[in-house]
């Protein structure tokens, strides 16, 4: 038997793939057969198929090769063989981007497109549109319009879809076909209807009224195509979102809801998902969608179950109580053979589950966790993390579970996500700290991932000294010094130094250990040990605090640049560290925004480490490229949020970004021209600088064609007198208009006329001059105490903030006004008074500490506002600006 089956197999392999081992050169050689007359379809079709197969396999053709093949292929138009002709169309589409002079086949394709053979027409249209550009499109416009309303559905669909593709390059031409598209939407064919709706919406989507009309009409029309209904649901939701506010008596909302009862599952699911994804829905509005999804949960089709549980997962984040009714169905899905479904079911249950159910669920997960792959384990770990934050009292159960998972086999990412979770729990829940640290200590005893060990050691250094019994961690850390590689040893030495700095009673022991580390074979470890040993030996509080416990945070990228500049300039000035902007603050809001990766998804590539570049340094780089802006002294210090100076739907759209340098202010105006029949030249923003400010330079935009965005700049010098810096500038956009042809963008005449356009005022506030600094609460308190001596001045005032409904609102408003990063901001709403601490850095590198004590008063919130700064003017300025 064996030899026979082997031969069979071999035969099969040989016969199985006649396309195996194809050689590009020989296939292209074969393409010469295309030139024979009469054309032999039996020979040519396989050759053409081979060419297309090679292209599909990712073979690269050079321009000459492609062009030669393309021209040989055009000979095949002589053949009447249907398959061959269709393959030629396919070939044209594939080669259109590679070969040159492809427009040569326009007339042949136009002939086929308008010919009698229905089989050719649709495909010819699609091939033709792939080789046509905006200017050529006008010559075939008449045929396209006819094709859109053709009674053959495949022709109409092809024309509609091609129009949509073309609208990317020739939007204006396609816009003229709106009447034809309108007619096609009434077609009996479901696909034509769907495509017509897609094109119609694409043409009209900028015009809200027209879209509203379209939707209103179609919702009454009862579209036949389920795809078209899905599309309509999406459009309706988009409109609902734009209108905002209340959905209660909106006909659009009623339409979406009515689609829940559509006979097609595709539509009902689309409607349910749309309702779930709509913002600001009430639980009652989501409930019908949830009951539809619940039905899907018990479907026999995995796709439907997956779709349902994934959407329920989303509901669980927004309206957890609504999903609880599905808990029973979800629990059945935990054992689903599709692991994505099972994992999603688990995470959904964890989100909605009550505190009492946690133990039971964890048991269920434990039975299942060993069977699933790392990617899904990570998803589960993330769900557990959310659970820990929700039920802090359950931390011991969850922590034990996590440490068990930590001991299992697993890749770096999986382990890192567990460690992350434990770290988050420790940070969030002081009760869990000791247990968490103990688990982590145990983990680093046997951890093969260097980066993870280093992170944990750093954490031990930060958190360990603050525990009741710091000495117990020393052993774990010192073990690392003895047993591990250099990188980990260095991290362990730094952690030891932290203990030495913060626990005076352990200091003698630490000194002994550090002294031993000075004998290390690695330079870095030795350097660190020596550095810390000598600092600690001095036993000087200030030094220890500034150089071990809370070392300075500067933006490393900027520091590197400044130092390079310093070396390059060879100026014998002293390097001023304060000129370097502080490290960018990663605010917690950004963190949540990053989690856009859908749950239940797995990713093959490890999360790419995005090089951390702050907005400041990216702007600094950009400005370096603008001629005329390099000469500004100092480094870029602060970048404001962009502010719109026009309504978003006007002729010219201008947004302003304020860039602060130590002594200069650069206003960047991003201008966009939305008029297709105008070319703007010499575009500049004229600023009416207020008293004290001096305009140093203006950089205009030489040319601003339609639909392009360019930047104009104005450089100003800050006034000497600080109180004048907070002000408003009047702004006007000035430019030369040249009327031009909308389709080509070439101006009609050489000379234009001057025109201007009023912009809204540019406001320069205090927040533009302060950069946020990240600091934890303790560090702030220490800095605050340190700032009480005579070097610092204090400015204090009391304000009444009327019309504030609560503390939370007041805090948000103050933080937003100053655009700083608050320290230790915790649940504000539960208290009646709150102290807000805002550390910052004024331009020029002056430290600013702001403390605002807020308390609920009879009518609003009262605030005691205190500023401490080394510079008295700054303190006064900030105080005054708040009032």
Partner 1 sequence: MEGLLLEPSLYTVKGIAILDNDGHRVLAKYYDPAVFPTSKEQRAFEKNLFNKTHRANAEIIMLDGLTCVYKSNVDLFFYVMGSSHENELILMSVLQCLYDSISQILRKNVEKRTIFENLEIVMLAMDEICDGGILLEADPTSVVQRVAIRTDDIPLGEQTVAQVLQSAKEQIKWSLLK
Restricting to residues 341-400, name those near partner 1 by CB under 8 A. Answer: 341
> Measured between alpha carbons, how far is residue 105 from residues 36, 52, 109, 123, 330 in Å?
19, 18, 6, 14, 58
**Number of neighbouring beta carbons within 10 Å of residue 817:** 13
Residue 265 interacts with partner 1 (CB under 8 A)?
yes
Considering the complex, what minimum distance in angstroms separates the CB of residue 161 from partner 1?
A: 5
Q: Which part of the chain contacts partner 1 (CB under 8 A), choosing from 10-18, 737-745, 757-765, 864-872?
A: 10-18
Q: Are 215 and 238 in contact (CB under 8 A)?
A: no
What is the distance, to the nearest Å, from the Cα of residue 706 to the centroid of all Cα atoms in its chain?
28
Element (H, E) at 269: helix 265-277
Of 109, 161, 369, 384, the residue at the interface with partner 1 (CB under 8 A) is 161
Would you say 322 or 503 has its CB closer to partner 1? 322
CA atoms within 13 Å, Cβ hemisphere of 752: 20
* Closest CA relative to residue 169, chosen from 131, 121, 112, 126: 131
Considering the complex, what minimum distance in angstroms separates the CB of residue 337 from partner 1?
A: 7
> Which residue carries 């044209």 as its tokens?
92
Residue 600 interacts with partner 1 (CB under 8 A)?
yes
Q: Which part of the chain contacts partner 1 (CB under 8 A), choosing from 303-311, 424-432, 471-479, 707-715?
A: 303-311
Considering the complex, what minimum distance in angstroms separates the CB of residue 190 from partner 1?
A: 8
Residue 234 interacts with partner 1 (CB under 8 A)?
yes
Would you say 291 or 318 has its CB closer to partner 1? 318
* Interactions with partner 1, residue window 45-104 (CB under 8 A): 45-46, 48-49, 52-53, 56-58, 60, 82-83, 86-87, 90, 93
Residue 247 interacts with partner 1 (CB under 8 A)?
no
Of 145, 238, 703, 734, the residue at the interface with partner 1 (CB under 8 A) is 238
In a 3-state reduction of DSSP, which class is residue 673?
strand
Considering the complex, what minimum distance in angstroms separates the CB of residue 82 from partner 1?
A: 4
* DSSP β-bridge partners for residue 855: 833, 862
Q: What six digits make up the tokens of 604?
A: 């093959």
* Closest CA relative to residue 705, chosen from 661, 730, 667, 735: 735
> Which residue carries 């010219």 as its tokens?
652
Considering the complex, what minimum distance in angstroms separates the CB of residue 360 from partner 1?
A: 26
SS (H, E, C) 814-878: HHHHHCCCCCCCCCCCCCCEEEEEEEEEECCCEEEEEEEEEEEECCEEEEEEEEEECCHHHHHHH
Q: Which residues of 285-323 are buried (b: 16+ CB within 10 A; e: fewer)?
A: bbbebbebbbebbeeeeeebbbbbbbbbbbbbebbbebb
Would you say 278 or 447 has its CB closer to partner 1? 278
Residue 289 interacts with partner 1 (CB under 8 A)?
no
Considering the complex, what minimum distance in angstroms separates the CB of residue 590 from partner 1?
A: 14
Would you say 306 or 780 has its CB closer to partner 1? 306
* Interactions with partner 1, residue window 140-159 (CB under 8 A): 153-154, 157-158
Residue 302 interacts with partner 1 (CB under 8 A)?
yes
Q: What six digits make up the tokens of 467?
A: 């525990």
Residue 231 interacts with partner 1 (CB under 8 A)?
yes
**Number of neighbouring beta carbons within 10 Å of residue 397:** 16
Would you say 45 or 725 has its CB closer to partner 1? 45
Of 66, 123, 229, 838, the residue at the interface with partner 1 (CB under 8 A) is 123
Q: Which part of the chain contacts partner 1 (CB under 8 A), choosing from 108-116, 482-490, 595-603, 748-756?
A: 595-603
- Measured over the CA atoms of residue 624, residue 629, residue 631 and residue 633, the dihedral's sign is negative
> Measured between alpha carbons, how far is residue 41 from residues 38, 111, 825 in Å?
9, 21, 76
Of 66, 237, 322, 514, the residue at the interface with partner 1 (CB under 8 A) is 237
d(CA 501, CA 511): 10
Q: Which part of the chain contacts partner 1 (CB under 8 A), choosing from 331-339, 384-392, 497-505, 745-753?
A: 331-339
Of 354, 563, 597, 746, the residue at the interface with partner 1 (CB under 8 A) is 597
Residue 596 interacts with partner 1 (CB under 8 A)?
yes
Residue 235 interacts with partner 1 (CB under 8 A)?
yes
SS (H, E, C) 153-222: HHHHHHHHHHHHHHCCCCHHHHHCCHHHHHHHCCCCCHHHHHHHHHHHHHHHCCCHHHHHHHHHHHHHHC
Question: Which of the 8 DSSP states describes residue 548?
Answer: I
Residue 241 interacts with partner 1 (CB under 8 A)?
yes
Considering the complex, what minimum distance in angstroms separates the CB of residue 150 from partner 1?
A: 14
Q: Which part of the chain contacts partner 1 (CB under 8 A), choosing from 223-231, 731-739, 767-775, 811-819?
A: 223-231
Integer-rounded Cα Rg, in Å, for the chain is 34
d(CA 169, CA 130): 11
Considering the complex, what minimum distance in angstroms separates the CB of residue 587 from partner 1?
A: 17
Number of shown-chain residues binding partner 1 (CB under 8 A): 85
Question: Which of the 8 DSSP states describes residue 547?
Answer: I
Residue 112 interacts with partner 1 (CB under 8 A)?
no
Would you say 317 or 566 has its CB closer to partner 1? 317
d(CA 131, CA 94): 10
Residue 119 interacts with partner 1 (CB under 8 A)?
yes
Residue 229 interacts with partner 1 (CB under 8 A)?
no
> Measured between alpha carbons, how far is residue 877 from residues 692, 793, 796, 810 in Å?
15, 12, 11, 21
* DSSP β-bridge partners for residue 703: 681
* Interactions with partner 1, residue window 13-32 (CB under 8 A): 15-19
Considering the complex, what minimum distance in angstroms separates the CB of residue 718 from partner 1?
A: 39
- Measured over the CA atoms of residue 521, residue 523, residue 529 and residue 531, the dihedral's sign is positive
Backbone phi, psi, residue 761, to 5°: -65, 150
**Helices 471-483 and 433-445 sit at what angle, rounded to 10 degrees?**
20
Taking CB atoms within 8 Å and a gap of at least 24, the contacts of 422-430 are 423/459, 424/385, 424/388, 424/389, 425/385, 425/388, 425/389, 425/395, 425/398, 425/399, 426/459, 426/463, 428/388, 428/389, 428/392, 429/388, 429/392, 429/395
Would you say 273 or 419 has its CB closer to partner 1? 273
Element (H, E) at 374: helix 374-390
* Interactions with partner 1, residue window 423-462 (CB under 8 A): none
Q: Which part of the chain contacts partner 1 (CB under 8 A), choosing from 232-240, 564-572, 677-685, 698-706?
A: 232-240
Of 70, 227, 533, 693, the residue at the interface with partner 1 (CB under 8 A) is 227
d(CA 501, CA 777): 18
Residue 277 interacts with partner 1 (CB under 8 A)?
yes
* Interactions with partner 1, residue window 602-631 (CB under 8 A): 602-605
The DSSP result for 492-527, as a single string, is HHHHHHHHHHH-GGGHHHHHHHHHHHTT-SSHHHHH
Would you say 475 or 594 has its CB closer to partner 1? 594
Considering the complex, what minimum distance in angstroms separates the CB of residue 471 from partner 1?
A: 44
Residue 262 interacts with partner 1 (CB under 8 A)?
no
Residue 485 interacts with partner 1 (CB under 8 A)?
no
Residue 587 interacts with partner 1 (CB under 8 A)?
no
Binding string, residues 188-217; x marks residues near partner 1 by CB under 8 A: ---x--xx--xx-xx--x------------
Residue 270 interacts with partner 1 (CB under 8 A)?
yes
Q: Which part of the chain contacts partner 1 (CB under 8 A), choosing from 301-309, 381-389, 761-769, 846-854?
A: 301-309
Would you say 234 or 777 has its CB closer to partner 1? 234
Residue 166 interacts with partner 1 (CB under 8 A)?
no
d(CA 686, CA 761): 11
Q: Which part of the chain contacts partner 1 (CB under 8 A), choosing from 225-233, 463-471, 582-590, 763-771?
A: 225-233
Q: Are 105 and 92 in contact (CB under 8 A)?
A: yes
Would you say 89 or 637 has its CB closer to partner 1? 89
Residue 301 interacts with partner 1 (CB under 8 A)?
yes
């Amino acid at each position: 038997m064996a030899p026979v089956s082997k031969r069979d197999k071999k035969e099969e392999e040989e016969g199985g793939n006649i396309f195996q081992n194809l050689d590009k050169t020989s296939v292209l050689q074969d393409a010469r057969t295309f030139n024979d007359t009469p054309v032999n379809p039996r020979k040519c079709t396989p050759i053409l198929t081979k060419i297309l197969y090679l292209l599909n396999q990712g073979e690269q053709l050079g321009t000459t090769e492609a062009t030669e093949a393309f021209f040989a292929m055009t000979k095949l138009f002589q053949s009447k063989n249907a398959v061959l002709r269709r393959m030629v169309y396919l070939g044209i589409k594939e080669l259109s981007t590679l070969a040159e002079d492809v427009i040569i086949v326009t007339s042949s394709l136009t002939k086929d497109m308008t010919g009698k053979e229905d089989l050719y027409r649709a495909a010819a249209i699609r091939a033709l549109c792939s080789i046509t550009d905006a200017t050529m499109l006008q010559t075939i416009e008449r045929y396209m319009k006819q094709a859109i309303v053709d009674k053959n559905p495949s022709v109409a669909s092809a024309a509609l879809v091609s129009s949509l593709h073309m609208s990317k390059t020739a939007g204006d031409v396609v816009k003229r076909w709106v009447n034809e598209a309108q007619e096609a939407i009434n077609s009996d064919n479901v696909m034509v209807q769907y495509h017509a709706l897609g094109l119609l919406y694409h043409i009209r989507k900028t015009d809200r009224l027209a879209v509203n009309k379209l939707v209103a009409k179609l919702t009454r029309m009862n579209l036949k195509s389920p795809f078209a209904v899905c599309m309509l649901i999406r459009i309706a939701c988009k409109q609902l979102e734009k209108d905002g506010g209340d959905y209660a008596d909106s006909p659009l909302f009623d339409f979406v809801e009515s689609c829940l009862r559509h006979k097609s599952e595709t539509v009902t699911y689309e409607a349910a998902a749309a309702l779930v994804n709509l913002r600001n829905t009430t639980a009652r509005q989501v409930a019908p969608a949830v009951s539809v999804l619940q039905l899907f949960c018990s479907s026999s089709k995995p796709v439907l179950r997956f779709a349902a549980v994934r959407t329920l997962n989303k509901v669980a984040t927004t309206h957890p109580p609504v999903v609880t009714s599905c808990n029973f169905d979800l629990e059945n899905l935990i054992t689903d053979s599709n692991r994505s479904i099972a994992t999603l079911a688990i995470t959904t249950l964890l989100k909605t589950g009550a505190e009492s159910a946690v133990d039971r669920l964890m048991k269920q997960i434990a039975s299942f966790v060993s069977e699933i792959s790392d990617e899904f384990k990570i998803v589960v770990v993330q769900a557990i993390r959310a659970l820990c934050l929700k039920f802090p009292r359950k931390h011991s159960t969850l922590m034990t579970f996590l440490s068990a998972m930590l001991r299992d086999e697993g890749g770096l990412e999986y382990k890192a996500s567990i460690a992350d979770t434990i770290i988050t729990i420790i940070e969030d829940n002081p009760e869990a700290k000791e247990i968490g640290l103990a688990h982590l200590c145990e983990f680093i005893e046997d951890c093969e991932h260097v980066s993870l060990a280093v992170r944990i050691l750093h954490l031990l250094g930060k958190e360990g000294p603050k525990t009741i019994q710091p000495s117990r961690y020393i052993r774990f850390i010192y073990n690392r010094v003895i047993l591990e590689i250099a990188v980990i040893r260095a991290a362990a030495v730094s952690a030891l130094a932290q203990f030495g700095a913060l626990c005076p009673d352990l200091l003698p022991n630490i000194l002994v250990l550090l002294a031993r580390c000075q004998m290390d074979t690695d330079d870095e470890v030795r350097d660190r040990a020596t550095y810390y040993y000598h600092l600690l030996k001095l036993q000087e509080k200030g030094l220890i605090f500034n150089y071990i416990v809370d070392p300075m945070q500067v933006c490393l990228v900027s520091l590197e640049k400044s130092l390079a500049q310093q070396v390059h300039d060879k100026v014998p000035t002293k390097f001023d560290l304060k000129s370097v902007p502080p490290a960018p603050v990663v605010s917690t809001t950004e963190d949540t925004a990053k989690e856009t990766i859908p749950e239940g998804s797995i990713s093959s590539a490890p999360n790419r480490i995005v090089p951390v570049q702050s907005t400041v340094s990216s702007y600094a780089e950009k400005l370096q490229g603008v001629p005329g802006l390099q000469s500004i002294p100092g480094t870029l210090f602060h970048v404001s949020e962009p502010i719109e100076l026009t309504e978003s739907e006007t002729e010219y759209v201008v947004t302003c970004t304020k860039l602060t340098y130590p002594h200069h202010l650069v206003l960047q105006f991003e201008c966009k021209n939305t008029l297709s029949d105008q070319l703007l030249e010499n575009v500049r923003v004229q600023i009416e600088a207020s008293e004290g400010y001096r305009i140093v330079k203006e950089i205009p935009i030489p040319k601003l064609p339609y639909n392009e965005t360019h930047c104009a700049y104005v450089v100003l010098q800050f006034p000497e007198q600080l109180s004048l810096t907070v002000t408003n500038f009047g702004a006007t956009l000035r430019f030369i208009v040249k009327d031009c042809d909308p389709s080509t963008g070439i101006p009609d005449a050489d000379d234009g006329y001057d025109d201007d356009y009023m912009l809204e005022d540019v406001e320069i506030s205090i927040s533009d001059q302060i950069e946020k600094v990240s600091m934890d609460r303790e560090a702030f308190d220490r800095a605050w105490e340190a700032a009480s001596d005579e070097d610092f001045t204090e400015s204090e005032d009391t304000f009444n903030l009327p019309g504030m409904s609560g503390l939370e609102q007041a805090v948000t408003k103050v933080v937003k006004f100053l655009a700083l990063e608050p320290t230790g901001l915790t649940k504000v709403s539960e208290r009646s008074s709150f102290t807000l601490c805002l550390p910052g850095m004024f331009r020029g590198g002056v430290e600013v500490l702001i403390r605002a004590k807020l308390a609920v008063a009879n009518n609003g919130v009262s605030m005691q506002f205190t500023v401490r700064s080394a510079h008295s003017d700054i303190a006064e300025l900030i105080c005054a600006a708040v009032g």
